[in-house]
Structure 1
Amino acid sequence: MSLKQVENVASHHSWVVGGMDCAGCANKIRTALERLPGVTDVSVSVMAESLAVSLDDEKTSRDRIERTVRKLGYSITPRDGGATCAAGGEGACCASGGQNGPAPQLGSGPRHATAASSHGAGDASVHWYGTAKGRLVILTGLLLVAAWGAEFLLPGALGSWAFILACLIGVAPIARRAFSALGAGMPFTIEMLMTVAAAGALFIGAQEEAALVVFLFAVGEVLEGVAANRARAGIRALGELVPKSALLEENGTTRKVEASQLSIGQIVVVRPGDRIPADGEIVEGIAGIDEAPVTGESVPRTKGEGEDVFAGSISTDAVIRVRVTRAAENNTIARIIRLVEEAQEARAPTERFIDRFSRYYMPAVVGLALLVAVLPPLVVGAAWDVWVYRALALLLIGCPCALVISVPASIASSLSAGARRGLLLKGGAVIEAAARADMVTFDKTGTLTVGRPVVTDIWAREGDRSTVLALAAGVEAGSSHPLAEAVLAHAETQGISFETGREARVIPGRGVEARIAGQTVFVGSPRHAQEEGVLTKDAIDRIDALEAEGKTVAVVSGSEGLSGVVAFRDEPRQDASAAMQELKALGVRAVMLTGDNARTAAAIAAHLSMEYRAELLPDDKVSAIRDLTARHTVMMVGDGINDAPALAMADVGIAMGSGTDVALESADGALLRNRILDVAGMLRLARATMANIHQNIVIALGLKAVFLVTTVLGVTGLWIAILADTGATVLVTLNALRLLGFRVERRS
């Protein structure tokens, strides 16, 4: 194979697509493009309003892709912003296209490049009347009013012709999309049903109702588009958190540059009140950092040199210098948006079932409508015009739009609500599994605990605890061992001054010793101290009591004998206990899985009122999760590389936002605020989402069941039928949008 052939086979292209309102829109585009020769790996994102394909350019050209999408009623613009843009996507229902022009993209960087001309479906600055859907509503409305005026003013049949003209002009773009979908192998679309219903109504002389039906259909599409854009607004707002410009420091001077052009390692200056333009590390200054825009945490955190900061967070009270640690396309905001976009494409089992159901439901409705149209006239001699009219109304009632949109609308709202509150779930399948979870397993270190030891107790043989701390700090000065850092941090907090030890040396497996004030001071294991005969009975009793509480103990002794002991423990997070209480209130069991020793695990578990399994290697954690998932729906929460296998094995794996990239990638979601309390909030959101989905399904099927019966009985007509269908779709969407305001905190 030649190099040119390889390039053709592996050619990748992407576009911005305007006018998609739900997963049905994506499915319509995907189905049409997959029928084209040489087109593979079709990826359509409703949330990002994007299209990407792998294309054999010798079989299908980019222009053909664009023509196909445009015929379906959508606007399309190449990612590079250079080529054609549809003059106006006509818009469609839940299974069709929409408003004019592409939408600004949600993220930043190359993958989320904004098209050159972006005034479309997703652009909040464009009012509904500036879109193709809006223009169709205005046109059909004016035509309907003109027809009523003509019927009143003009004699005889001229008024009827005005309604016929209004109907034909209004239904023309709908029919064009219907036949484009038919050519792409999709005969059962709402556009086709609308076209058949309008044509049939004209055929039996119901021209006034035909024109009214077309107008109501257009109104319904506008409402669906507005509702879909509201669902996107929360995620789009995230993309706007990152400032467009940054103050780059070079050679002692600063200059303004585009934030998207910042490179790793560059230094930026952030003034009080400014948003931080990139993920980075503070290299100079101390400031209160408001992370609420990113994580939802309401209280600013004081951060100084060496601490990480997120793009989009705000320096509240001081100037800081920040070293960029992530490129724009990979910063925290961009990663959140990417996760949500990808989550939109991961469909829930309920959604997949409804899609399969709709494939059979639509032909069944069409078949039933045909029977209603022909059987009564043929069997009992009923009037053809009456039963054809009822069959046409049945077609409109039978449209599955509300049912198809019921799940993705709720999922989109849930993902948006969660992302704004620091809760990321990667798709509908994850939400559905989380809603069923009846057990949550936690890693200990760095998840339930803060991940670093702190000094918890100091015992002095003669009661002078500050002397014990000063001796320990002097020996540990300059060491990077976690316990040494804990001693030094505690001494600083307590304001204890100490003499730095000299001639320090490590005694492998035992501890550290150094010369302080003319004596050799030892800090190390109780076992070594006992072997040396240093420990007293009181000291041994105290050490046993501290170790029973799951604490690590170090003995401090000098030439004059025992000085005292220092106890350490990786303490539980402040919200861990409250989190366990909330999980219990939700009827969810909490289990700690840890590689730590059983005594420490038991102490932490008792403090938090939870179950535990201790001394587990990474493989043991996987085995434990496998055992638990046989009897429960298990959510696993962890943060480290060693947690990645267990996160992948669990029904739902959730990574702490401060965790490793491996944990974040292998997990099904993340807690950006690093709060254990948010686990309960995530479960509440997932359960509320599934309840919302079930409500939507009842609304969609319930209304259809009622109006199917009333239509066959002749109680409701064409315009009521389309009003009922549009009304059901709007009700379902509005109900889904309620999730945008869902409070994940426990209500008192």
Structure 2
Amino acid sequence: MSQIEKDQQSSCCSNKLDNAEAPQTTNSCCSGEETKMNQDKDKNKSASPCCEKETSTTSCCSSNNESTKNTQEEGNEGNDKHNIVEYNIRGMDCPSCAVTIEKGLRKTDGIQTVQVNYGTGKMAVVAEDPSIYSTIPKQVRKLGFEAALVDSNISQETYRIEGMDCGSCAKTIENHLSKNPNVHTVRVNFSTGNMRIEHATTSKDIVKEVQKAGFDAGLESSEQNNKQAADKKMLLGSATTLSGIFLALGAIASFANLVSSLSMVLYGTAILIGGFKPARSAFYAIKSRSLDMNVLMASAAIGAAFIGEWFEGAMVVWLFALGNTLQSRSIERTRDSIRSLMNLTPSEATVKIGEQLIRKAVKEVEINDIIIVKPGEKIPLDGEILTGISSINQAPITGESLPVEKQQGDTVYAGTVNENGSLEIKVTKLVEDTTIAKIIHLVEEAQEQKAPTQAYVDRFASVYTPIVFVLALFVMVLPPLLGFGTWGDWLYKGLALLVVACPCALVISTPVAIVSAIGNAAKRGVLIKGGTFLEKAGVIQAIAFDKTGTLTEGKPKVTEVISLNDNREELIAIARTIEEYSTHPIAKAITTYAEERDILAKNGEAFQAIAGKGAQATIDGVEYFAGNPKLFKELNVTLEQIEERIHALQGTGNTMVVVGTHKKILGIFAVADTIRDITVHSIKTLKAVGMNEMVMLTGDNEETATKIANDTGIDRYFAELLPEDKVSAIKKLQHEGKRVAMVGDGINDAPALATADLGIAMGGAGTDTAMETADIVLMADNLEKLPHTIRLSRRALTIIKQNIWFSVITKLAALVLIFPGFLTLWMAVLSDTGAALVVILNSMRLLRQK
């Protein structure tokens, strides 16, 4: 790591550690190497928000990890090491998360010490009573994280769940499995149909346990499970059809005035066929102490039969079954929005071994193997081109509309299409580590994170259902006891109220919309890390852009060199010597300029970065500096003889690098960066969709900043900024009452990304770090998809509001109509299942957003 990078990291980390105690906005503030290390240590790190009030959350500083480690060693000193129990912690995104867990658990009676190491994702606990250890995962879950005992026998698996009708079904499964001592953590997501579980038993046992809860499960990757799921869907569809036929026959028998018992038998048969599955699910829900829609519907159907309303009971069952069938098929299309990403990569690759070409499963291909990809074929694995030139369609990864020219030495990604020219590629990543695999993993995690709106709705539903359920019981019993009406009338109204007690449409109003929006974005090269960030993107009022590499190409070039001592080569050699150890784009531009002219660097020493101003080195005992004009003003070196020339070059968009000593100026380099073609178009589109203010943050001088702002359509800029000044600029915008997004590369702009309400990283396909560090990741290295992301987020918010209002109004209308007797039992079911179906279909519009 260069000295410049170290200084930047040190500055950032110290800023982060000063605020580590407070649960504030945090983000990556370390080098790519540190973040990669953290990723390797904790590959299962959740992308969820770190704390309730946090916004952008990601990995932080190694120094904090070391201090935590030292504290842990001190805290454990004197304890019997056999009393120390370790847990893996998931969901931590910053050191303040570790502090939150420690403080939360220290309040528990019987816990002697607790130390959480953010870097390793582990927690060490010493308790007085061994029985306390089994309660810790639940306590950690209450704090917003997941804890699992460190055990080599623990498996982490993802299952597909079949048979869930609504979010309460997911709760039934969680409640049932949580009682199993071999299950450490379990999370079921209705929207994605997935269950993530950590357990110390076999997969067969997990499937059996899920079946005991009334549902079916299978490993997500299992083809047999997919076939069984398809067969069961056909069976359920047949049951719904058969139930409908018997319902129709019963109605015909009733209208034809046939034997009354015949219609009763037909209705009863319809109830048995169509209600078997809901009744079975209701039984397991009650067993798991969960009050879900199956319990309510089964109660309504049985109650209707009990009071002699056989037609009503059969209609309730059939409408419920039909509604569930339609809902399942609709929501499956939403779930397929992500599963389709898994089919992007071919299952086999052509591997070159010596002079032979052998077809192998991609799982068997190793790193450094050579694969051959012919024109028109999909690239099976990430790799580096050894021979060949071709155009690669990268739309599946980056969403870019045009193919990208690739040649020897360039990186290619699994799932992209080789349009012309045969390529010989060296594999650089295994199938599970490819960019597309990471995209799928991150998107699946994102879809399972609850947005603030969803969390609020879930809390409301958890209170609403029991209240209405109890109210229904009172309606059934109290009025007839007090002499108001007959038992039959009030039982009927109570049963209708039971049906209305199910808030299914309300519960799925938010998650289905979020899953649809995140799936849409992923297919277009944008990773949105969760519903929280989707909602935030929808209310952003100002966007701040880093200049270099975001608005511009990030590949500046030297446009002019002015030597004041008439020794141009000497000046270039000195500049190369100073800048050679820096990775800053401007430093690279100068070293590249020297390399192209075969001008070698001198023997230098004592290289040092001067944060935000430049760098220095000692050559032949003399200290030389290369940096902006401000640096030399601070050194009290006069710029009088070149000041006019500097202003002239700055006025045409050049950045100036002055080279000199403590005493005099040797010369200047003018460096310019070209504006991206897509930048101007993207900014115009963002303004067209109603974005209030576009802001540029740059370390360049006023003249250069003014020109770039005018050329790109930027409304406002902050110039001559040091890295920490970008944070101040973001805070200034926030203090003006604006919700601010920051767009950068995800690493160098980490403090500003952390401070902003929303952090957006560009070029995620090129760096693993960018994919891990930002709230939203643009996989392409440009702003092309940013307007689509903002539009999609705003539309998602609109649809969520529509869904919630529609669900609430439908329920209120049903409640009002029950007591006058206008709402029949089957109409109550129709209003419930119909509302849920409308909400799902409305949310699915987000999948088709162009």
- Tell me whether the two structures share a fold, i.e. TM-score over 0.5: yes
- CA distance in structure 2 between the partners assigned to 1:353 and 1:573 by the alignment: 42
Given that residues 652 and 707 in structure 2 are in contact (C-alpha distance below 8 angstroms), is that contact kept between their aligned partners in structure 1?
yes
Aligned to 1:736: 843
Query: TM-score, structure 2 length as denominator?
Result: 0.70
**By how many angstroms is 1:683 displaced?**
1.4
Given that residues 191 and 335 in structure 2 are in contact (C-alpha distance below 8 angstroms), is that contact kept between their aligned partners in structure 1?
yes
Aligned to 1:119: 227
Question: Which string of whole-angstrom CA distances, capped at 9 and with x for unpartnered residues, describes residues 695-725 of structure 1?
Answer: 0111111122222222221112111111111
Residue 642 of structure 1: SS of its match in structure 2?
coil
Residue 44 of structure 1: SS of its match in structure 2?
strand
**Which deviates more, 624-633 or 202-211?**
624-633
- CA distance in structure 2 between the partners assigned to 1:639 and 1:138 by the alignment: 55
2:214 is aligned with 1:73: yes
2:819 is aligned with 1:712: yes
**Counterpart selection for 2:556 from 453, 456, 459:** 453
- C-alpha change, 1:602 and 1:353, in structure 2 (3 Å) is same
2:708 is aligned with 1:604: yes
Given that residues 16 and 115 in structure 1 are in contact (C-alpha distance below 8 angstroms), is that contact kept between their aligned partners in structure 2?
no
**Which deviates more, 438-447 or 332-341?**
438-447
Which aligned pairs between 1:564-643 and structure 2 lie closer than 5 A? 567-585=670-688, 586-597=690-701, 599-608=703-712, 609-630=714-735, 631-643=737-749
2:367 is aligned with 1:264: yes
Given that residues 26 and 44 in structure 1 are in contact (C-alpha distance below 8 angstroms), is that contact kept between their aligned partners in structure 2?
yes
Which aligned pairs between 1:317-396 and structure 2 lie closer than 5 A? 317-396=420-499
**Counterpart selection for 2:281 from 149, 164, 177:** 177
2:195 is aligned with 1:51: yes
**By how many angstroms is 1:343 displaced?**
0.8
Given that residues 648 and 666 in structure 1 are in contact (C-alpha distance below 8 angstroms), is that contact kept between their aligned partners in structure 2?
no
2:763 is aligned with 1:657: yes
Question: Which string of whole-angstrom CA distances, capped at 9 and with x for unpartnered residues, describes residues 261-294 of structure 1?
Answer: 3322222111110111112222222111111232
Given that residues 378 and 417 in structure 2 are in contact (C-alpha distance below 8 angstroms), is that contact kept between their aligned partners in structure 1?
yes
Residue 406 of structure 1: SS of its match in structure 2?
coil
Residue 157 of structure 1: SS of its match in structure 2?
helix
Question: Which string of whole-angstrom CA distances, capped at 9 and with x for unpartnered residues, describes residues 649-700 of structure 1?
Answer: 3322111124643332121111112332422221111110010000011111
Residue 185 of structure 1: SS of its match in structure 2?
coil
Uncovered stretches (5+) of structure 2, i.e. residues with no partner: 1-81, 86-129, 131-148, 606-614, 618-625, 630-638, 660-666
- C-alpha change, 1:132 and 1:635, in structure 2 (3 Å) is farther
Aligned to 1:40: 184
2:809 is aligned with 1:702: yes
Given that residues 39 and 53 in structure 1 are in contact (C-alpha distance below 8 angstroms), is that contact kept between their aligned partners in structure 2?
yes
**By how many angstroms is 1:47 displaced?**
6.2
- CA distance in structure 1 between the partners assigned to 2:468 and 2:769 by the alignment: 49
**By how many angstroms is 1:120 displaced?**
5.3
2:164 is aligned with 1:16: no
Residue 283 of structure 1: SS of its match in structure 2?
strand
Amino acid at match of 1:67: K
Residue 131 of structure 1: SS of its match in structure 2?
helix
Aligned to 1:415: 518
**Which deviates more, 342-351 or 572-581?**
572-581
Question: Which string of whole-angstrom CA distances, capped at 9 and with x for unpartnered residues, describes residues 286-343 of structure 1?
Answer: 1111112322222112121222222111111111222222221121211111111111
Given that residues 47 and 341 in structure 1 are in contact (C-alpha distance below 8 angstroms), is that contact kept between their aligned partners in structure 2?
no
Residue 392 of structure 2: SS of its match in structure 1?
strand
**By how many angstroms is 1:182 displaced?**
1.2
Residue 451 of structure 1: SS of its match in structure 2?
coil
**By how many angstroms is 1:542 displaced?**
5.3
Which aligned pairs between 1:160-199 and structure 2 lie closer than 5 A? 160-186=264-290, 188-199=291-302
Aligned to 1:647: 753
**Which deviates more, 63-72 or 273-282?**
63-72
- CA distance in structure 1 between the partners assigned to 2:520 and 2:601 by the alignment: 55
Amino acid at match of 1:726: T
Question: Which string of whole-angstrom CA distances, capped at 9 and with x for unpartnered residues, describes residues 374-407 of structure 1?
Answer: 3443345312212221221222133201000100
Residue 405 of structure 2: SS of its match in structure 1?
strand
- CA distance in structure 2 between the partners assigned to 1:297 and 1:502 by the alignment: 39
**By how many angstroms is 1:224 displaced?**
0.9
Residue 696 of structure 2: SS of its match in structure 1?
strand
Aligned to 1:684: 791
- C-alpha change, 1:489 and 1:249, in structure 2 (3 Å) is farther
Aligned to 1:432: 535
- CA distance in structure 2 between the partners assigned to 1:611 and 1:149 by the alignment: 74
**By how many angstroms is 1:17 displaced?**
2.7
**Which deviates more, 233-242 or 134-143?**
134-143
Given that residues 24 and 405 in structure 1 are in contact (C-alpha distance below 8 angstroms), is that contact kept between their aligned partners in structure 2?
no
- C-alpha change, 1:359 and 1:487, in structure 2 (3 Å) is closer
**Which deviates more, 260-269 or 479-488?**
479-488
Question: Which string of whole-angstrom CA distances, capped at 9 and with x for unpartnered residues, describes residues 391-435 of structure 1?
Answer: 212221332010001001100111111111112111111111111
**By how many angstroms is 1:153 displaced?**
8.7
- CA distance in structure 1 between the partners assigned to 2:628 and 2:447 by the alignment: 56
Uncovered stretches (5+) of structure 1, i.e. residues with no partner: 80-104, 106-112, 461-467, 493-497, 512-523, 528-534, 557-563, 744-748
- CA distance in structure 2 between the partners assigned to 1:566 and 1:649 by the alignment: 34
- CA distance in structure 1 between the partners assigned to 2:749 and 2:165 by the alignment: 38
Residue 785 of structure 2: SS of its match in structure 1?
helix
- CA distance in structure 2 between the partners assigned to 1:525 and 1:708 by the alignment: 73
Residue 425 of structure 2: SS of its match in structure 1?
strand
Query: TM-score, structure 1 length as denominator?
Result: 0.79
Amino acid at match of 1:157: S
Amino acid at match of 1:335: K
- CA distance in structure 2 between the partners assigned to 1:614 and 1:225 by the alignment: 54
Amino acid at match of 1:245: E
**Which deviates more, 578-587 or 172-181?**
578-587
**Which deviates more, 299-308 or 206-215?**
299-308
**By how many angstroms is 1:459 displaced?**
11
Amino acid at match of 1:571: T
RMSD of aligned Cα (Å) = 4.0
Question: Which string of whole-angstrom CA distances, capped at 9 and with x for unpartnered residues, describes residues 80-135 of structure 1?
Answer: xxxxxxxxxxxxxxxxxxxxxxxxx4xxxxxxx445432255xxxx48x8434323
Given that residues 45 and 341 in structure 1 are in contact (C-alpha distance below 8 angstroms), is that contact kept between their aligned partners in structure 2?
no
Given that residues 35 and 184 in structure 1 are in contact (C-alpha distance below 8 angstroms), is that contact kept between their aligned partners in structure 2?
no
- CA distance in structure 1 between the partners assigned to 2:770 and 2:809 by the alignment: 43
- C-alpha change, 1:620 and 1:486, in structure 2 (3 Å) is closer
**Which deviates more, 717-726 or 615-624?**
615-624
**Which deviates more, 632-641 or 212-221?**
632-641
Residue 155 of structure 2: SS of its match in structure 1?
strand
Residue 749 of structure 2: SS of its match in structure 1?
helix
- C-alpha change, 1:483 and 1:424, in structure 2 (3 Å) is closer
- CA distance in structure 2 between the partners assigned to 1:540 and 1:632 by the alignment: 38
**Which deviates more, 546-555 or 233-242?**
546-555
Amino acid at match of 1:166: A
- CA distance in structure 2 between the partners assigned to 1:33 and 1:396 by the alignment: 27
- C-alpha change, 1:435 and 1:503, in structure 2 (3 Å) is closer
- CA distance in structure 2 between the partners assigned to 1:200 and 1:22 by the alignment: 22
Aligned to 1:96: none
**Counterpart selection for 2:307 from 187, 198, 204:** 204
